[in-house]
Structure 1
Amino acid sequence: MLALGKTNRLTVKKQVKFGFYLDGLSWGEILLPNNVAPAGLEIGSEIDVFLYLDSEDQLIATTERPKIKVGEIAQLDVVATTKVGAFVNWGLKKDLLVPFSEQQIPLKEGQKYLLYCYVDNSNRIVASSKLDRHIHKTPAHYNAGDKVNIIISEQTDIGYKAVVNNQHWGVLYKSEVFKPLRRGERMLAFIVKVRDDGKIDLRLNASTFKQALELTEQVLRKLEQNGGKLALTDKSSPELIYAAFGVSKKAYKQAIGSLYKEKKIVILDEGIILVNN
C-alpha cells in the first residue's frame, strides 16, 4: 500500500519528454521528473521514491531524501513565516508548512525547532511543534537492554527528555550523561525499563547498562540472603562497598538508586530494606 510522505517502491510505467510516469496503482500515474531520475532508468524498472505534493498540490515522486518523513521527528530551520503558518526547510524544493494551530509557541524565521511530520485531514503533509499531541499515543513495548534511536528534546531538572524511535517519551537521567547534549541531537540509547506511566528510562552506554543490571541483581540476591536487610547505603564508605560487591561507590549508588525508583527497596540511614511486593 502506498504512503504519502514516505518512501515507496514503484515501477516505471512509461517515459515522456519531461520525466517518467510510475505506476501508482489505485493512485494513478505519478510523475518522476527528469531532474531527479537516475541515469539508465527504464520502463519496467523498480525504483524507491519519496511521494509528496508539489507547489500545485499535485502528487509527485522524487529520489531526493527529505530531512523528515511522515511519522518522524527532526529539528528543522524556519525559512519563512506567512499568514498560513511557518515554512521549514525539509530538503525538498517545496518547503514544509507548520500551521499556526500546530505551533507550541510562535515559530520565528531563522530559528530551529523540533518538529513532528504527519498527514493532516486535508491530505497535506505538514509539521507540528506540539509533540505531545502526536507522540506517546500507543503503549511502549520494549525490553530492558533493547537498542533504540533517540533524539534529544530538552534538558530538565533530572536530566534530558528524549523521543524514542519517533514514538514515545523517554528520560536520560543526569547520572547517565557525561557530556552536554543538544536539542535535536540524535544518538543510540538502551532501554532500562518502561515505567508505569508508559515513559521510558534510558541509558547511553550498553556496557554500563549491562554492568548496572548485573549489580542490581547482585544487590537483590544479597538482600534475600540477609533477610531483606543490608547495612550499606549511598553514604557508606567506598571500602565497605567494594568489599561487598567489588564495585565503586558511584556504581553502587546508581544500582540502589535504580532499585529505589523501581520501588524494590527502601533506603534508610542505617541501610537498605527489600520491599515485599
Structure 2
Amino acid sequence: MTRETIGVLGAGVMGTGVAHALAASGFKVTLVDVDQTRADAARANIEKNIRMYQLLHKMDQQQADGIMGRIQATADASAVYDADFLIENITEKWALKEALHRTLSQNLKPGTPVVANTSAIPIAHFAKCYADPARVAGMHFMNPVPLMPMVEVIRAPTTSEQTLAACRALIEGMGKQSIVVNDSPGFITNRVMMLTVNEAIFCLHEKVAASAKDIDRLFMSCFGHKMGPLATTDLIGVDTVLLSLEVLHHEFKDDKYRPCPLLREMVAAGRLGRKNGKGFYDYDDAE
C-alpha cells in the first residue's frame, strides 16, 4: 500500500495512539479534534511517547523527527475531507458519532473508506449514515495502539470486499495483523471482555475481594494475564468502559451487561483511570 494521507478524527487516548502508530509506519496523518488545544496536546503526548519508545526500540532522533513530521494536528474537520482513508475515534456516544458521520457523508471524497474505531456500537449504525454504505467498516484497535499487534476488523452487512481489503492492507502497512469478524454489538473482544471487567468490578463493589490489586493478582497469577481486569479498565478509561457496557446493555436488552454501580460512582467522581491519574489505582503519569 502506498503511503496515503490518513484522516484520524478524535484526539483522545485511542485517536492519539492510532495517529502515532500510523505515522510510525510511514503514513501521513491528519489528526483532528474539536478543540485545537486538545489536538496540540495529543501531538505533544505522541512526542512524549516517542521518547519512551526510543529507549525501548533503539530509535534514532532522525526517525523520531520523521514520525512527528508526518502528523498534522488541527481543529479544522475539513482538513480530512480529501484524505485517502478515514478513521473515527471520538467519544463512545452515538448522538455525537451519528452527527459527525452524517457530516462526513456529505463531504468526503467518493469511495474513501470510512472506519469507526468503536468499542461496542454496531457498524451497521454507522453505515446507515452514508449513501454508499459499502465504504463503511469497523476497526477495533487495542490500547496502547502502537504496541498491540492485532486489530479486530468488523464487517457490516453492507461492507464491500473492496473496503475490507483496504482495511486489511492499512493494518498490514502498520505492521499489525487483523482478523475479520461479522457485525455484533461489542464484536468479539469487547462482547466477552466487558463481561469480565464488569464482574470483576462487581466483586470489588460487593467486597468479595479486599482490593483491586488482589483481583488483578488473581487473574495475572492464575491465568497468566499480563494485566488484571481492573488495571485494564483504568487503561481503557473507566468512562469508556461504562459507555461500552451501556451500549451492550441497550443493544442486547440483557441484564448480564448491566453496569456495576461502582462504575457510575467512579465516573461521577472523576476517577477515569490512567487518562487523568485516578481510577482503581492512582497514577503519577497522567496525560
In the superposition, the TM-score normalised over structure 1's length comes to 0.27
Q: Which has the larger radius of gyration?
A: 1
Relative to the length of structure 2, the TM-score reads 0.27
Greater percentage in helix: 2
Q: Could you say which structure has the greater relative contact order, defined with CA pairs below 8 angstroms and 6 or more residues apart?
A: 2
